[in-house]
Amino acid sequence: MTICSFALLGPVAGFQQMREELELLLQLQWHAHVNKRDYQGGWDVLPLRCVSEHLNAHGILQSFAIYPSDDWSNLPQLEQSPALLRFVTALPFSVKSVRLMRLHPGAEIKPHRDQGLCLEQGEARLHLPLQTNELLKFFVNDQLVPMQAGQLWYINADQVHRVENKGAEPRINLVLDCVVNAELKEQIYAGWNTELSRVN
């Protein structure tokens, strides 16, 4: 059985407004990624939605304490960002964690896996690039993902993936962990089939 490594779900509405909100969010305190062995250079995170019990906890817990829970809540920085909030709440499936993840110029995320985080296990990690550049390379299962700003992508994080930013600007992605339902599964397979047709 062939496993889907990545799929384009499509362009998103309200992208320019999200970019404007990002400028304000950049002024908040971001947190260096805790998995130091998995990257070189700068890689940091701003949490937007977290497990409800961590609503009043330190930002590091809000950013990285991602475990099975049925109770997730928006953080103030998401509630105060109307375009981002509209996008997240309009998604037709259950959204768990939401984070902004910034990979600084010259940095790289080393090959690694997030075990179980894939469509086949009922979980989906989605990436929406808000800021990127032509020298940003994102690989899943040794395949280059042709991400562009304003596009929503499914990434099979259970497969080995890595990222390198050789550009002069940070790459900033909105990263969502979601529960797969029939509609999301259909979108992923449709995007995957389109991508297969493009490369073949």
Quick one: pLDDT at residue 65? 76
pLDDT in tens, 4-32: 999 999 999 999 999 999 999 999 999 99
State which residues form the domain around 19.
6-199
pLDDT in tens, 45-90: 999 999 998 988 887 877 877 777 788 999 999 999 999 999 999 9
Quick one: pLDDT at residue 154? 98
For residue 1, being part of any structural domain is answered with no
Quick one: pLDDT at residue 199? 52
pTM of this structure = 0.94
**pLDDT class of 200 with cuts at 50, 70, 90:** very low
How many distinct structural domains can be found in the chain?
Answer: 1
For residue 175, being part of any structural domain is answered with yes
pLDDT beyond 80 at 196: no
For residue 86, being part of any structural domain is answered with yes
pLDDT beyond 90 at 193: no
The string of DSSP codes covering 119-162 is: GGGTEEEEEEEEE--TTEEEEETTEE----TTEEEEE-TTS-EE
Q: What CA–CA distances, in Å, run from 34 to 9, 31, 64, 82, 151?
A: 29, 8, 8, 29, 27
CATH number at residue 35: 2.60.120.330
